[in-house]
Amino acid sequence: MLVLRRCAYLAVAGFAAALAGCSQAPPTPTAAPAVPTTAPPAATPTAPAAAKPAASPSPPATTASPVAAPSPAVKPAASPAASPAVVAAASPTPLSLAQLSAIQPGLGTVMIEYARRMGHLWFAEQASNWDLAQYQLGEMIEIQEVGETTRPARAPALKSFESSFLDPLDEAIKAKDKGKFESAYNSAIQGCNSCHGSQTSADFQQGFTFIKVQVPTKGIWDIYKWDGR
């Protein structure tokens, strides 16, 4: 069992940090927190346009002293920014926690990745690339944990799917046992579909039986069984 939840949190935290730092397009990472003069491009088209090209190209990744580079870069950007227009723009309303959580991926988004990696898993095993198979399975569990965090009501079903169907796949991969893997994979596909049938939502009170997956044949997206039967 892989416990990779930490990564999910880091991803969320990183995302929040990225949001905080992304109100200006290409700031140097270290400069952004120090200089909250992050005028949105639309608000002050003239000043940043003049300042940015001069400021941003200066810290190329190849600079020998990456710590020193941002400070000269920041100053030119900071002084033209001292106008009232920029000050007004410099306090963008921070997103609330509720807003931040509302924009995290829901299960539909998680499932697109889940299914894609499930497809990768099959073709990795078909090609006897066990390391790739192991990697894909680990990534499935990571994205599943994002789903468990953002949609806690589905977490028990996801966890039970993991122990019933992904753990046997993990064992088969570790044993490099193709027979065992393929039978575990077939069972897992059935497990995917039975969860779809059992989960409901306000919009789909009859369940998600129409989302059917199958063992892919030619490519990863054949994992969708389009007729839903």
Q: How far apart are CA 166 and CA 162, in angstroms?
A: 5
Q: How far apart are CA 195 and CA 192, in angstroms?
A: 5
- Of 8-16, 75-83, 157-165, 173-181, which segment contacts ligand HEC by CB under 6 A? 157-165
208 binds ligand HEC (CB under 6 A): yes
Least CB distance to ligand HEC at residue 3 (A): 18
19 binds ligand HEC (CB under 6 A): no
196 binds ligand HEC (CB under 6 A): yes
Helices within 127-222 (DSSP H only): 130-150, 155-161, 167-174, 178-198
> Which amino acid makes up residue 193?
N
Least CB distance to ligand HEC at residue 26 (A): 33
201 binds ligand HEC (CB under 6 A): yes
40 within 8 A of 91, measured Cβ to Cβ = no
Nearer to ligand HEC, 83 or 109 (CB): 109
Nearest Cα neighbor of 5 from 152, 148, 169 is: 148
Q: What is the Cα gyration radius of the chain?
A: 24
Binding mask 20-39 for ligand HEC (x = CB under 6 A): --------------------
Least CB distance to ligand HEC at residue 151 (A): 8
Number of residues that bind ligand HEC (CB under 6 A): 22
Binding mask 88-127 for ligand HEC (x = CB under 6 A): ------------------xxx--xx-xx--x---------
What Cα–Cα distance (Å) separates residue 181 from each residue in 7, 124, 155, 208? 27, 11, 25, 27
Token digits of residue 100: 């931040």
> Which amino acid makes up residue 160?
S
Least CB distance to ligand HEC at residue 89 (A): 36
7 within 8 A of 50, measured Cβ to Cβ = no
Q: Which of 154, 169, 173, 216 binds ligand HEC (CB under 6 A)?
A: 154
Phi, psi of 200 (to 5 degrees): -130, 170
Positions that interact with ligand HEC (CB under 6 A): 106-108, 111-112, 114-115, 118, 154, 157-158, 161, 188, 192, 195-196, 199, 201, 208, 211, 213, 223
